[in-house]
Amino acid sequence: MLRITRADTNGAVESLRVEGRLTRDDIARLQHTCAELLEAGARLALDLAGLQFADREGVAALRTLRRRGVALFGASGFVEALLADPHL
């Protein structure tokens, strides 16, 4: 199960807290939420401190968001390793 909540913003950057498990079933919701904010012109950051797991598709979605300029921060060592693994 994935939980996405708006975190406190500092005015310049919208921040979303992403918690739980990011799997193929939840990617569309994450992408839609991020797309709405990006299309509104917001700078966006995802707090991944509560993200416990991401499957291959979830990792790909996070990489795509990062390429679109979304900042990813707070990830556990496990999630960082998944994002850094070029074979995923």
Instruction: Give pLDDT tens digits for 34-75.
Output: 999 999 888 999 999 999 999 999 999 999 999 999 999 999
Within 8 A by CB and 6+ apart from 10, the residues are none
Distances in Å between the alpha carbon of 59 and those of 10, 12, 84? 27, 26, 10
Structural domains present in the chain: 2-84 (3.30.750.24)
Model-wide pTM > 0.75: yes
- Residues 59, 61: Cα–Cα separation, whole Å: 5
User: Rounded mean pLDDT of the chain?
Assistant: 93
- Residues 9, 30: Cα–Cα separation, whole Å: 18
First-residue to last-residue Cα distance in the chain: 21
Q: How confident is the model at residue 86 (pLDDT cuts 50, 70, 90)?
A: confident
